[in-house]
Amino acid sequence: MYSERNQILKGNLNRLLLKFAVPSILGILSGFLYVIVDTIFVGRGAGPLAITALSIALPILLAMMALGLMIGTGSASIISRALGKKDKQKAVNVMGNGVILNIILNIVFIILGYIFIDKILIFFGASQDVLPLAKEYLVIVFPGFTLLSFLIATNDFVRAEGKPRASMYFIAIGSLLNIIIDPIFIFGLKMGIKGAAVATIISQAISTVLIIWFYMSGKSIYRFKTSMFKINFKHIKEILIIGCPNFFMMTIASVVVLIFNRSLQFYGNDMHIAILGITYRMIGLIQIPVIGISQSFATISSFNYGAKLYQRVKKILGLAIIWTTVISFLAFIPMMFFPRNFISLFSSDSVLINTGIIPMRMLIIFFPLVGMHMVIASFFQSLGKAVQSLIIITTKQFLFLIPAIYILPKFFGLNGVWMAMPAADFLSITIAVIFMLYEIRIFNRKAAKEVLETV
Whether residue 1 has pLDDT greater than 60: no
Contact assessment for residue 45 and residue 263, using Cβ atoms and an 8 Å cutoff:
no
Is residue 387 one of the residues assigned to a domain?
A: yes
Q: Which pLDDT score is estimated for 160?
A: 67
Least confident of 59-73, 90-104, 264-278, 342-356: 59-73
Within a domain: 386: yes
Q: What is the pTM of this model?
A: 0.67
- Note whether residue 167 is domain-resident: yes
Continuous segment of H or E residues that includes residue 51: helix 48-84
Do 64 and 109 touch, CB atoms closer than 8 A? yes
Q: Say if 212 falls within a structural domain.
A: yes
Q: How far is CA 60 from CA 118, 144, 188, 208, 343, in A?
A: 12, 13, 28, 21, 23
Q: Is residue 1 part of a domain?
A: no
In a domain, 2, yes or no: no
Cα separation, 238 vs 249, in Å, equals 18
* Highest mean predicted confidence (pLDDT) among 12-16, 156-160, 302-306, 357-361: 357-361
- Under a CB-based contact definition with an 8 Å cutoff, are residues 313 and 393 in contact? no
The total of other beta-carbon atoms located within 10 Å of residue 348's CB is 12
3-state SS string for 207-276: HHHHHHHHHHCCCCCCCCCHHHHCCCHHHHHHHHHHHHHHHHHHHHHHHHHHHHHHHHHHHCCHHHHHHH
What pLDDT does residue 220 have? 67
Domain count, the chain: 1
pLDDT in tens, 270-279: 888 888 888 8
75: containing domain:
9-454
Q: What is the mean pLDDT of residues 307-325?
A: 83
